[in-house]
Structures are given as C-alpha cells and as structure tokens.
Chain A
Amino acid sequence: MSGYLDWRITDFPFQTDIPTRWGDNDMLGHLNNVVYNRMIETIVVRFTMGPLKIDWKQDPCYPLVVESLCRFHRPLSFPDTITAGLRAGRLGSTSVTYEIALFGQGDDVPASSGHFVHVFIDRDTHKAVSIPDPIRTLIETHA
C-alpha cells in the first residue's frame, strides 16, 4: 500500500499529460474519483495506440479490460494538468497488467496509483488469445 511512495515519474517509460476540466471537479472541489479512473484508461489507450501500434477497430485481436484498481493518495483538482505514467507489470500469456501513476504539477510522489489489466480477445471468436509476439516485444520494452 505504501510502495507508491517510492514511485517517481522517471520510473515510467511512457508518459502523457492530461489537462483537467472544470466539470471534472465534484462538489467537494476535487477531481471526482471516476475522473482518476478515466485518466488511467486514457494513458492505457494512448499506450496501446502509440507504442503498441494497436488498431482497435481493425486488428484481429484487441485488448479488453477485465480489472482496474485506483488508490487515491492526495486530492487533485482543476485546473491542474496531470502527468500520467505507465509501465508494464505482470505479462502473462493472454493478459498484461499496466502499473499507472498520476502526478499533479510539482508532485514528487504520485497523487494516485493503480493498475489496469488487459486480456487480448480474438475479434471473431471473442475468446482470449495469446498476445501476438510483436505486441509482446513492445510491451516488454516498457517494463
């Protein structure tokens, strides 16, 4: 639970900045918890479309989320711009776990940390399939 205190943005080989919007804050004046999860999804999707070169609409298999987790360590608020970091964690035959951290501007340690598990699904059979080798190799370079 406290492991995130050792996490730094430089530990994450893939990063993206995500601006916040007025409507992301809830009535407590902080980003609503759902928005953190949206940011986690955002960096995962950008990673799949960028470094992994996945075409979600065309490839013969595609990633499907089966589990997600988010821990909230410090509140973030509009109008901060969030820097999200991603690295590959556990890599199985058909699934991969991404470790993700969200940093506000000036944060040394993550304001939020979590993970997101993708299973690769065959577009025709809708069954889990082995992660294609080229994608696996690209994932491994982001561990």
Chain B
Amino acid sequence: MALQKPETRDDYRYFLSLQSRWMDNDLYGHVNNVTYYSYFDTVVNYFLIEKGGLDIHKADKIGVVVESHCNYSRSVAYPDLIDCGLRVGHLGNSSVRYEVGIFRNGEPDASAAGYFVHVFVERESNQPVPIPKPVRDALSAITVAASA
C-alpha cells in the first residue's frame, strides 16, 4: 500500500469536536474502524443542521448515503478528543461528496480520512431532488477545488 501524504487541518473548512466514548474502542484498545463512520455521520448531519437549517424531524427533502469510504492511517483511542474536519469535494445538483478528516488531540495530521456521498431525495417518494437552497448555500461555503 502506497503511503499517502497525510491530510492536515488546513485541508478542511469546518470542524466539530467529539468526545470519544469507552465503547468506541475494540479489543485492540483503539477506536474500531466502523466507529469512524459514525463520526462522519455525526459531523455531516451536525453541519447540515447548524449551517444548513436542516430539520431532521420535519424536512421533506433529506440526504441519503450512497457511498462511504475511509483510509485508516494511524489509530485513535478513547479517551482521545476527536476533531472532525469537513469539506465538500463535489457539489452536484442533487448529490454532495463530503470529505472528512479525523484528528486526535490537537494533532496537525489526520489519523484517518474518508468521504461520504449524499443524494438528496424527497422523503415520501425517495426520488432525487435538487439540494434545497439553504443547504446548498451552506455546502458551497465549504466547497474546495476537486481533490483526489
């Protein structure tokens, strides 16, 4: 596996700090690989709520995940404080690719980096719809030029 240049905090546009939890660690004493996706899920939805005005209970247009990916470079472990860095790598008509970096305890380099693709759909019909304007405006503000 080729080592990739680590992502740094400067590569991201929005941050959310999360306290890791006891149950995040697995048998090896590190945060379990699947738990990173829960961090992704948390920062993305928090951003949509805080900056995009998403009402997760009543919204008639919602984002559904169509793809998720993560590269694990170095471990993080409870009780680390996790900073989730977020940026948008691609903003389409109905889809958005969020890119997330996981940083532990103030470190400059990401311990893991991944992405998460949402397609916005009408909740009732499940058909794709254009991303609602308040959400799109928020996403535009953290969109960066296309990355790898």
- Chain A residues at the B interface, C-beta cutoff of 8 Å: 27-28, 32-34, 37-38, 41, 56-57, 65-72, 75, 92, 94-95, 117, 119, 128
Given contacts A72-B65, A117-B1, contact A34 B70 (CB under 8 A): no
In chain A, what residue has the closest Cβ to B35?
A34
Interface bits B103-125 vs A (CB < 8 Å: 1, else 0): 00000000000001000000100
Interface bits B25-63 vs A (CB < 8 Å: 1, else 0): 001000011110110010000000000000011000010
Sort A-B residue pairs by CB-CB distance and give the 4 closest, nearest first.
A33-B65, A34-B37, A69-B69, A65-B33
State in angstroms the CA–CA spacing of A70 and B27 once bound together.
23
State in angstroms the CA–CA spacing of A128 and B67 once bound together.
28
Contact B62 A28 (CB under 8 A): yes
Contact A34 B34 (CB under 8 A): yes
Is B93 an interface position by the 8 A CB rule?
A: no
Contact A71 B70 (CB under 8 A): no
Is B17 an interface position by the 8 A CB rule?
A: no
**B-chain residues with CB within 8 Å of residue A67 when the two chains form the complex:** 1, 69-72
- Chain B residues at the A interface, C-beta cutoff of 8 Å: 1, 27, 32-35, 37-38, 41, 56-57, 62, 64-72, 116, 123
State in angstroms the CA–CA spacing of A66 and B1 once bound together.
9
State in angstroms the CA–CA spacing of A74 and B130 once bound together.
20
**B-chain residues with CB within 8 Å of residue A65 when the two chains form the complex:** 33, 72
Distance in angstroms from B128 CB to nearest chain A CB is 14
Distance in angstroms from B142 CB to nearest chain A CB is 21
**B-chain residues with CB within 8 Å of residue A27 when the two chains form the complex:** 56-57
State in angstroms the CA–CA spacing of A128 and B1 once bound together.
10
Contact B34 A41 (CB under 8 A): yes
Distance in angstroms from B69 CB to nearest chain A CB is 5
State in angstroms the CA–CA spacing of A95 and B41 once bound together.
28
Partner of B34, one of A38, A94, A119: A38
Beyond A37-B37, A66-B72, A92-B1, 9 extra complex contacts between A and B, CB < 8 Å: A28-B123, A32-B41, A33-B116, A37-B33, A37-B34, A67-B69, A68-B70, A69-B69, A95-B1
